[in-house]
Chain A
């Protein structure tokens, strides 16, 4: 990390102190947001693209850390970074700075995190995505979206997910050989097809939920 990296003490949530001194919570202003963007690039459009990309990936990092709602934690991280920049902090490496702040936010969230019995808990506490209106709607969407893939892509995804364990490994090796590509390329290709399939299913479920509302 560079000399501009945030210091943990500076970036700790001052909510207790705020409450003690009765200070209002800092909120993002347009000026602060503009300053935040200018850290990514002087070109406004490029800065916007980099900000969005960073936000999505930070969101994932918080999802994978499993300490709380990823969107709230990502917003909190950007708020703190923007606040420091607005207060005059010079940042040479915004990514490293953001990661540093995110780590602090993550730790704080971990401290606040109240463990729940996952054996009894539902798989997710936030159901924002559409609920299946019928037990088989997701499966119907899956079939529709799978059918919508090109024959080559469909062949690859079906072949990739055939069998289990040892058989699966052997099968993927043969599939990679058959296609004349390295295994990693096969993984990437299968992943991209799977993402396209899942996006299609999500849209299909949203449409189905919209019809039933």
Chain B
């Protein structure tokens, strides 16, 4: 502060011709080489002009300034402007001047050039705070938005998964139903199979195939019954196969008719082919067991020629006993 005052005083004394030759030369070297010193002299010149136009100088100082002005049109012009400055400016209230131009609202947040660096920091603090808050808000909003989107996506995925699960459940339920149905069907089929097997077994047990009985042709007359073969039908047999001996015949087909004791036809097989088994040649005559009751029966056999002409061949009497 004191140094500055000394510089100001030195500059003022220099302008008023108050320095020694050496002091002046030293200062002039600085004026030519040092920007700060030169500007300090210019400021001293401002203040000297102000004092001049305000008539604030001694007679000797005033004479000195007049000499300078006399030799310098620039200084003369500065004095004119200085006069206006001193007369014109005080008539304009500074606050009014300041209020003339409306400051845009956003400039309220900005530091003015007149402010000291520290004050600029203070002035810029609300703007910085506002910016920081805005940035934070944007960040929070962005994050919230991202979270919301993620939530929405997750909910959508969850919903989709639930739907898929429901579908799967439905399918599973359907499958279960189908499985149950299939199992039921399977059980039923198994039951049916078991029944069939049981029935088959029962049938097998009940009809151990066919009951065969070999009968030779009768040697006696019909109805005598002496030479008739006697047979006993085992219980549970549904069918009898009477194997009629046709060793003496050479027909390719036979016609056999079952007759009761009164020669009343019961069953007729029109075309029976003879079967050779070992040394025997016979024709199988199948008859339901239920058709045969206790009593005497005859099977009349005719041989069929190639021209399908019936020729009497043999009778096969037999007796059924219970």
Contact = CB atoms under 8 A, between A and B. Distances in A.
Interface of A: 54, 57-58, 60-61, 63-70, 95-96, 98-100, 102-103, 116, 118, 121-129, 138-139, 142-143, 151-159, 161-165, 179-181, 183-185, 187-191, 194-195, 197-198, 201-202
A154 B114 CA distance: 11
Nearest to B79: A123
Contacts of A124: 69-73, 75-76
A63 B81 contact: no
B31 A161 contact: no
B68 A66 contact: yes
Interface stretch (B91-99, B154-162, B274-282, B287-295): B91-99
B31 A57 contact: yes
Nearest 4 A/B pairs, CB to CB:
A180-B116, A124-B76, A180-B119, A66-B67
Question: What's the dominant secondary structure at chain B's contact region?
Answer: helix
5 contacts: A64-B15, A103-B25, A123-B79, A139-B84, A197-B81
B74 A63 contact: yes
Contact of A162 (B15, B39, B94, B115): B94
Nearest to A161: B89
A192 to B, nearest CB: 9
B241 to A, nearest CB: 137
Interface in B85-127: 85-86, 88-90, 92, 94, 97-98, 100-101, 103, 112-116, 118-119
A36 B72 CA distance: 27
Interface of B: 4, 14-15, 17, 21, 25, 28-29, 31-33, 38-39, 41-43, 45-46, 50, 54, 56, 63-64, 66-81, 84-86, 88-90, 92, 94, 97-98, 100-101, 103, 112-116, 118-119
A191 to B, nearest CB: 5
A139 B88 contact: yes
B65 to A, nearest CB: 9
A127 B74 CA distance: 9
A142 B73 contact: no
Nearest to B65: A66
B116 A95 contact: no
B71 A69 contact: yes
B114 A125 contact: no
Nearest to A116: B70
A126 B73 contact: yes
B43 A57 contact: no
Nearest to A152: B112
Contacts of A95: 29, 32-33
